[in-house]
Structure 1
């Protein structure tokens, strides 16, 4: 798709389950995933820990509307813990953009929608974890105001090498 028409980011629906599962499997990579690649038969994208209300989705279609709308990406936004003393924080625990939609501002739109949703939920801080070798994601997060707040050196062993887990965060207050 050369030119996309991106709709406003919306909350995921139960009906998005299959399309989100396909997107998740299609974008799997050791650049960002620490879990093994899913194998058939595939489980539901949603489960007791991954509920539709935890996800925001971006839909897009060709600018000429010739292909209809598809989910171009998702972001998962959740409280990092169930503790009341941590209720002011939201954590991004997953961000994926379809290959056909990359380079069109989908990830940035999802991040900004997550900031707005976190504020709506009463949060004043947002955090995430990113693998140290995922330079494109780290650059995107930094451009959106995230700073490195910690590094867990060699936290994961992926593809025969140790990879750092980078903790990033940013304020949601002006």
Structure 2
């Protein structure tokens, strides 16, 4: 039987987070605003992703399957006074070997619960329009589409549209 633990990541998890983040950027480059190359840039590349774990208003959660980090997702609370009632689900990724086990659903449910505990009234996200599996997962958790941003991302001459979704917690 698989042992499953979902928890907020801490600075000591940076190495495991780094590994899965690079996997995500390589296997699903269209799903993330940053590129693999950008993430590796600089003298200490791990610092490029550290803010997801330790940044102000940012909480990153991980699903550990048999001790290995198998999925990640971040909840960012908007810092501006008039937007503090909203948060954003970012950087959601389930490693290829862990898919099909309900891990993504459990992670989203944990993030939603944490949002409720913070009195967040609305969680927003963006998902590539052709990522049908992710959109289906989000819809199953109550997220609704409220728009589409055409040509939201562009890399190496290729464009991707993003579907804008929100979950209303109030």
TM-score band (shorter)?
0.7 to 0.9
Name stretches of at least 5 consecutive residues in structure 1 with no aligned partner: 62-68
- CA RMSD of the aligned region, Å? 2.0
Matches within 5 A, 1:107-118: 107-118=104-115
The answer to whether the 8 A contact 1:30-1:159 is kept is: no
Query: 2:140 maps to what in 1?
Result: 143
How many pairs does the alignment contain? Answer: 161
Shift of 1:153: 1.1
Name stretches of at least 5 consecutive residues in structure 2 with no aligned partner: none
Query: 1:71 maps to what in 2?
Result: 69
Answer 1 or 2: higher relative contact order, Cα 8 Å, separation at least 6. 1
1:163 aligns with 2:160: yes
- The answer to which structure has the higher helix fraction is 2
Q: What is the TM-score with the length of structure 1 in the denominator?
A: 0.83
The answer to whether the 8 A contact 2:32-2:91 is kept is: no
Distance in 2 (alpha carbons) for counterparts of 1:159 and 1:137 = 24
Q: Deviations over 1:2-59 (max 9, x none)?
A: x63312x211111100011001111222241232214477611643x42346111111
Distance in 2 (alpha carbons) for counterparts of 1:140 and 1:108 = 7
Distance in 1 (alpha carbons) for counterparts of 2:122 and 2:164 = 13
Query: 1:65 maps to what in 2?
Result: none
Aligned match for 2:63, one of 58, 63, 86 = 58
The structure with the larger Rg is: 1
Distance in 1 (alpha carbons) for counterparts of 2:73 and 2:29 = 18
